[in-house]
C-alpha cells in the first residue's frame, strides 16, 4: 500500500525534470534564432570580389532597428569591451589611424561622453563630420557641451562643419573654437591634409551658406585644384550631409552631387558623412548611385557621435548595413594602398568591421 505514493512522487519528479529541460532547450533555440536575424546573412556568404567585411553581434533588445541587406556581409557573435576597458593601442601595422563621428555634443545628453571615452583609448588623428555642438553651434555650447568631452582631443582634431554649426552666423562659434584647424589659408571652411600616404579632403556641404557646392563655385574650383594636385594613392573626403542615406530624417542630399562627381573622377576611395543620426555603410558606388566595384566610392554615414539616434526609412540601393543601436565612433586604419574600418559602439555589443583596397 505504501509503494503507490512513492511511485507517484517519483513520476512527478521525472515529469518536472523533463518540463524544465524542454524550457531550457526552447530558450536556447530562441536566442540562436534571434542572433541569426541580427547578423542578417549566414557566415561565408561573401560575394566574389567583394571586400572583406564582418558584422559582429550579440542578441540584445536594443537591436530592433538593426538591418542588413548585403550579400557580402557575414557575422558571428562576440562580446565588445566596455569603453572603460579600452586602453590606447597602436595599429598592428604602425600605419596612421583616423577616428571620429558626426553629430556629437549636446549638454542635455551624455552620448558624447560615452564616445569620448572610446576615443581616449584610440591613438591617432580625430575627425568630426559636422554638428559638433547642439543646438546652434554657439560659443557657449562649444565651451559647455563639446569642450568637456571631445575637447580633450582638440589638439589632434580636424573638424567639419554641420548645419547646426552654421546656425550661428558665419559659423563663428565653430571657427573660434577650432581656429586654424577648421579653415584653409583663405579662411574658408574647407581644407585638406595628408595623413601617412592618404590625402584627406574636408568639405562644407552647407551650400547656401558657403556660396554653393557646384563645380563652378569657389569651393568646387578649390576641390578640383586640390584633387588635381593630389598624388596620393588613397583619398578620403569628409563632410556633413550625405549624398546617399536611408535615414528617416534627411535621406539623400542631391546638392552634394558635384562633390561626388569630382571625387569619383579623381579616383577617391572613401566618403564619410553624418547628418542622419545612425550608422550606415554603402557598397562602392558611382555618383549616380550605381554599384561600381572597380572605381566606386564607399560611403559611411556616422552620425553616432552622441546626438539622439533616429531610425531608417526604406533602405536606399546598395546600403549594406544600417545600425541605430547606440552612440559610437568609426576607426580607420590607413595603409599604403588599402584601409580597414571598424565602427566601435559605446553601449551596445554590435559592431561593423572590414577592409578594402584603394583604387
Integer Cα distance of 351 and 80 in angstroms: 8
Decide if 135 contacts 167 (C-beta within 8 A).
Answer: yes
Q: pLDDT (tens digit, 9 = 90+) per residue, 172-228?
A: 999 999 999 999 999 999 999 999 999 999 999 999 999 999 999 999 999 999 999
**Cα 304 to the center of its chain, rounded Å:** 7
Highest mean pLDDT among 15-19, 23-27, 332-336: 332-336
Which residues 6+ apart lie within 8 Å of 165 measured at CB? 130, 131, 132, 133, 137, 171, 173, 174
pLDDT range class, residue 39, cuts 50, 70, 90: very low
pLDDT of 93:
76
Integer Cα distance of 113 and 72 in angstroms: 33
- Contacts of the segment 224-230: beta carbons below 8 A, 24+ positions apart: 224/262, 226/192, 226/201, 227/201, 227/262, 227/263, 227/265, 227/266, 227/268, 228/266, 230/192, 230/199, 230/266
Q: pLDDT (tens digit, 9 = 90+) per residue, 266-322?
A: 999 999 999 999 999 999 999 999 999 999 999 999 999 999 999 999 999 999 999
105 has a pLDDT exceeding 50:
yes
pLDDT range class, residue 357, cuts 50, 70, 90: very high
- Contacts of the segment 40-44: beta carbons below 8 A, 24+ positions apart: 40/67, 40/68, 40/69, 40/70, 40/73, 40/75, 40/321, 41/68, 41/70, 41/71, 41/73, 41/74, 41/75, 42/74, 43/74, 43/75, 43/76, 44/74
Instruction: Give the HSE-up count for residue 345: Cα atoms under 13 Å, Cβ half-sphere.
Output: 23
Integer Cα distance of 43 and 23 in angstroms: 28
DSSP codes, 179-241: GGGGS-TTS-S-EEEEETTEEEEE----HHHHT--STTSHHHHHHHHHHHT---SEEEEE-SS
Integer Cα distance of 58 and 75 in angstroms: 10
pLDDT range class, residue 90, cuts 50, 70, 90: low
238 to each of 23, 36, 100, 191, 296, how far by Cα in Å? 51, 33, 11, 10, 16
Mean per-residue pLDDT of the chain: 82
Q: pLDDT (tens digit, 9 = 90+) per residue, 125-138?
A: 999 999 999 999 99
Decide if 267 contacts 293 (C-beta within 8 A).
Answer: no
Top-confidence residue, 296 or 87 = 296
Decide if 319 contacts 251 (C-beta within 8 A).
Answer: no
Helices (H), the chain: 3-39, 111-120, 139-141, 172-178, 207-210, 218-228, 257-265
339 has a pLDDT exceeding 90:
yes
Domains of the chain: 40-357 (3.60.21.10)
249 has a pLDDT exceeding 50:
yes
Ramachandran region, residue 179 (left: φ > 0; alpha: ψ -120 to 50; beta: rest): left
pLDDT of 28:
43
DSSP codes, 62-102: GGGG-EE--TT-EEE------GGG------TT---EEEEES
Using a 10 angstrom Cβ sphere, with 0-12 exposed, 13-18 middle and 19 or more buried, the burial of residue 284 is buried
pLDDT of 112:
98
pLDDT of 15:
40
68 has a pLDDT exceeding 80:
no
Highest mean pLDDT among 25-34, 77-86, 303-312: 303-312
Residues of the chain above pLDDT 70, percent: 75
Top-confidence residue, 3 or 233 = 233
Render the burial of 87-110: b for 16+ CB within 10 Å, e for the rest: eeeebeeebbbbbbbbbbbbeebe
Amino acid at each position: 500500500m505504501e509503494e503507490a505514493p512513492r511511485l507517484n512522487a517519483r513520476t512527478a519528479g521525472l515529469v518536472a525534470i523533463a518540463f524544465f529541460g524542454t524550457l531550457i532547450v526552447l530558450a536556447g533555440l530562441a536566442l540562436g534564432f534571434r542572433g541569426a536575424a541580427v547578423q542578417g546573412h549566414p557566415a561565408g556568404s561573401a560575394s566574389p570580389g567583394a571586400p572583406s567585411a564582418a558584422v559582429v553581434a550579440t542578441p540584445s533588445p536594443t537591436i530592433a532597428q538593426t538591418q542588413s541587406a548585403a550579400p557580402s556581409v557575414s557575422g558571428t557573435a562576440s562580446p565588445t569591451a566596455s569603453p572603460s576597458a579600452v586602453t590606447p593601442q597602436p595599429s598592428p601595422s604602425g600605419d596612421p589611424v583616423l577616428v571620429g563621428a558626426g553629430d556629437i555634443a549636446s549638454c542635455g545628453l551624455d552620448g558624447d561622453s560615452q564616445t569620448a571615452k572610446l576615443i581616449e583609448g584610440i591613438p591617432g588623428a580625430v575627425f568630426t563630420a559636422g554638428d559638433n555642438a547642439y543646438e546652434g553651434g554657439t560659443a557657449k555650447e562649444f565651451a559647455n557641451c563639446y569642450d568637456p568631452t571631445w575637447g580633450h582631443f582638440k589638439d589632434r582634431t580636424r573638424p567639419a562643419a554641420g548645419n547646426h554649426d552654421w546656425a550661428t552666423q558665419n559659423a563663428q562659434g565653430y571657427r573660434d573654437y577650432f581656429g586654424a584647424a577648421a579653415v584653409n589659408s583663405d579662411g574658408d571652411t574647407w581644407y585638406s591634409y595628408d595623413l601617412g600616404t592618404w590625402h584627406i579632403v574636408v568639405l562644407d556641404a552647407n551650400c547656401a551658406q558657403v556660396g554653393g557646392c557646384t563645380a563652378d563655385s569657389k569651393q568646387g574650383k578649390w576641390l578640383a585644384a586640390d584633387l588635381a594636385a593630389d598624388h596620393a594613392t588613397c583619398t578620403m573626403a569628409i563632410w556633413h550631409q550625405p549624398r546617399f542615406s536611408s535615414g528617416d530624417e534627411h535621406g539623400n542630399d542631391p546638392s552634394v552631387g558635384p562633390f561626388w562627381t569630382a571625387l569619383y573622377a579623381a579616383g577617391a576611395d572613401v566618403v564619410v558623412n553624418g547628418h542622419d543620426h545612425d550608422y550606415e555603410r554603402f557598397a562602392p558606388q558611382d555618383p549616380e548611385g550605381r554599384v561600381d566595384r572597380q572605381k566606386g566610392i564607399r560611403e559611411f554615414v556616422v552620425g553616432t557621435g552622441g546626438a539622439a539616434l533616429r531610425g531608417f526609412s526604406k533602405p536606399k540601393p546598395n546600403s549594406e548595413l544600417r545600425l541605430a543601436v547606440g552612440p559610437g565612433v568609426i576607426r580607420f586604419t590607413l595603409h599604403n594602398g588599402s584601409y580597414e574600418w571598424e565602427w566601435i559602439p559605446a553601449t551596445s555589443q554590435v559592431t561593423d568591421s572590414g577592409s578594402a583596397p584603394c583604387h
